[in-house]
């Protein structure tokens, strides 16, 4: 269990450093630029995130749970190349049709290139995660975050050009992948994929297209379901903000978004715990060890609930003072909203751990109706509660949405585990099941 704790700590630190640096980029654009610059960056990000979520196909989760070593890194790289091609085509079509005249098109295209490099890098992270080398992932993410913030601050300070600063960011990410991540892959001798240069890399990918079509189709089928799930998750996260903006206006949305950002530490911790234990859950399933599977799952839930509850207690007593320090005194009046948002984060933590468990047993398609139901509940609650209770109503909508996700995930997990009880008893080969 100490290895799981170590892996979780590595991922949490790496994710947290990266998240803080991403927030720092927004601060740079706000302080050195103008609201219009921040708006262009935010709009470009909002356009790209749903497409990126689907194009990623959650290959990293499929890699991490491939305990039977059915697929190779070459297979995942081959699929990622195809999905990125589709992603870039979609970006071009959407950008030219809808954003050609408002100045966001150059920002959209440059940021899309950065997201493409990030998507390639994610496949490498999936390989190291599968082999539980979380320390490398954490170091890489920390380097990525710090270098991103530094280059954006310098270039934007000199040029005051958003597109140019994002172009520099793209080059930094490309350099880090080529000169840090790929060499680390070459030094990793316990895996069966060793990087020997760009020619070898491309040759392996082309070979996968020719020799492993059946495996690529399997990955694509599973990944499409997971990609759709992640797209729905992204939509669910954005739903309260759409409704607040429509019903209360942009000023209230600004307060709401500021409150929501404070839960990023909880989110990053949940991601770290979930990703660190995902390979272990998959191995317990493959080995038919139901007791071990449930032990890891319950321990994950307890850990994330304790962590989230600690944050909830802190803001209950010191929230107003912290908001005044972090933002301004105007934000302190919304401490009750902050408390509700952190409460929703605790519920989200439980639902997420159940989601990782479902992914570990390769329950992909069945999660799509769950998230459709969650979005409907979230939207309905926010729509009816926000006019009456203001931002607190929107926060209660988030709580209700995540509670729905947790309940439906418990039902689905119980049903799936009941259906695969012979696997846990060792009567069926899990790899073929």
Q: Mean pLDDT, to the nearest integer, of 132-157?
A: 85
Q: Mean pLDDT, to the nearest integer, of 226-255?
A: 75
Q: Which residue has the higher pLDDT, 265 or 279?
A: 279
Q: Per-residue pLDDT tens for 400-417?
A: 999 999 999 888 888 877
Q: Is residue 369's pLDDT more than 60? A: yes
Report how far residue 345's alpha carbon sits from residue 38's, in angstroms, rounded to the nearest whole number.
26
- Burial class from Cβ neighbours inside 10 Å (0-12, 13-18, 19+) for residue 144 reads buried
Q: Per-residue pLDDT tens for 373-384?
A: 999 999 999 999
* pLDDT band with cut points at 50, 70 and 90 for residue 191: very low
Q: Is residue 151's pLDDT more than 90? A: yes
Q: Is residue 256's pLDDT more than 80? A: no
Greatest CA separation for the chain: 66
Q: Is residue 27's pLDDT more than 80? A: no
Q: Is residue 1's pLDDT more than 60? A: no
Q: Which residue has the higher pLDDT, 72 or 140?
A: 140
Secondary structure of the chain: what % helix, strand, coil (to 5)? 85, 0, 15
Q: Mean pLDDT, to the nearest integer, of 134-161?
A: 87
Conformation bin of residue 328: beta by default, left when phi > 0, alpha when psi is -120 to 50: beta
Q: Per-residue pLDDT tens for 90-121?
A: 889 988 887 776 677 888 899 899 999 888 88
Q: Which of 85, 75, 78 is CA-nearest to residue 55?
A: 85
Where does 33-133 have alpha helices with state H? Answer: 35-56, 59-64, 73-98, 105-130
Evaluated on CA atoms 255, 256, 257, 262, the torsion sign reads positive
* pLDDT band with cut points at 50, 70 and 90 for residue 186: low
Q: Please list, in sequence order, all residues whose beta carbon lies within 8 angstroms of the beta carbon of residue 373, skipping any fewer than 6 positions away.
A: 404, 408
pTM above 0.75, yes or no: no
Q: Which residue has the higher pLDDT, 47 or 346?
A: 346
Q: Which of 22, 10, 7 is CA-nearest to residue 264?
A: 22
Share of the chain above pLDDT 90, in %: 15
For every residue of 281-315, DSSP letters joined together read: HHHHHHTT-HHHHHHHHHHHHHHHHHHHHHHHHHH
Q: Per-residue pLDDT tens for 259-270?
A: 777 777 777 778
């Amino acid at each position: 269990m100490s290895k799981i704790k170590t892996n979780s700590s590595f991922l949490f630190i790496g994710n947290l450093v990266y998240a803080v640096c991403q927030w720092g980029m927004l601060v740079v654009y706000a302080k050195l630029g103008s609201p219009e610059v921040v708006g262009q960056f935010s709009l470009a990000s909002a356009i790209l995130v749903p497409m990126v979520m689907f194009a990623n196909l959650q290959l990293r989760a499929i890699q991490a749970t491939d305990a039977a070593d059915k697929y190779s890194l070459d297979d995942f790289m081959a699929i990622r190349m195809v999905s990125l091609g589709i992603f870039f085509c979609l970006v071009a079509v959407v950008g030219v049709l809808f954003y050609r005249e408002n100045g966001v098109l150059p920002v959209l295209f440059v940021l899309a290139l950065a997201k493409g490099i990030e998507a390639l890098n994610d496949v490498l992270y999936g390989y190291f995660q599968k082999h539980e080398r979380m320390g490398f992932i954490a170091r890489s993410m920390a380097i990525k975050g710090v270098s991103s913030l530094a280059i954006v601050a310098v270039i934007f300070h000199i040029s005051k050009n958003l597109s140019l600063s994002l172009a520099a960011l793209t080059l930094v990410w490309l350099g880090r992948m080529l000169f840090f991540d790929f060499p680390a892959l070459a030094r990793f001798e316990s895996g069966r994929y060793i990087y020997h240069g760009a020619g070898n890399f491309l040759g392996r990918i082309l070979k996968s297209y020719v020799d492993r079509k059946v495996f690529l189709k399997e990955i694509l089928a599973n990944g499409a379901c997971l990609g759709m799930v992640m797209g729905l998750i992204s939509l669910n996260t954005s739903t309260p903000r759409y409704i607040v903006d429509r019903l209360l206006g942009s000023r209230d949305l600004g307060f709401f978004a500021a409150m929501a950002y404070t839960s990023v530490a909880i989110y990053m911790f949940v991601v770290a715990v979930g990703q660190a234990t995902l390979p272990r859950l998959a191995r317990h399933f493959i080995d038919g060890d139901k007791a071990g599977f449930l032990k890891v799952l319950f321990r994950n839930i307890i850990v994330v609930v304790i962590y989230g509850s600690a944050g909830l207690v802190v803001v209950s007593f010191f929230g107003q003072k912290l908001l005044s320090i972090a933002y301004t005194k105007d934000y302190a009046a919304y401490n009750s909203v902050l408390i509700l948002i952190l409460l929703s984060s605790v519920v989200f933590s439980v639902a997420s751990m159940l989601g990782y468990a479902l992914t570990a047993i390769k329950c992909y398609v069945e999660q799509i109706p769950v998230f459709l139901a969650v979005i409907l509940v979230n939207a309905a609650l926010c729509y009816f509660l926000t006019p009456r209770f203001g931002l607190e109503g929107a926060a209660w909508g988030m709580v209700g949405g995540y509670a729905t996700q947790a309940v439906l995930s418990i039902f689905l997990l119980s049903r799936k585990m009941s259906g695969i009880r012979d696997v846990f008893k060792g009567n069926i080969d899990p790899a073929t099941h």
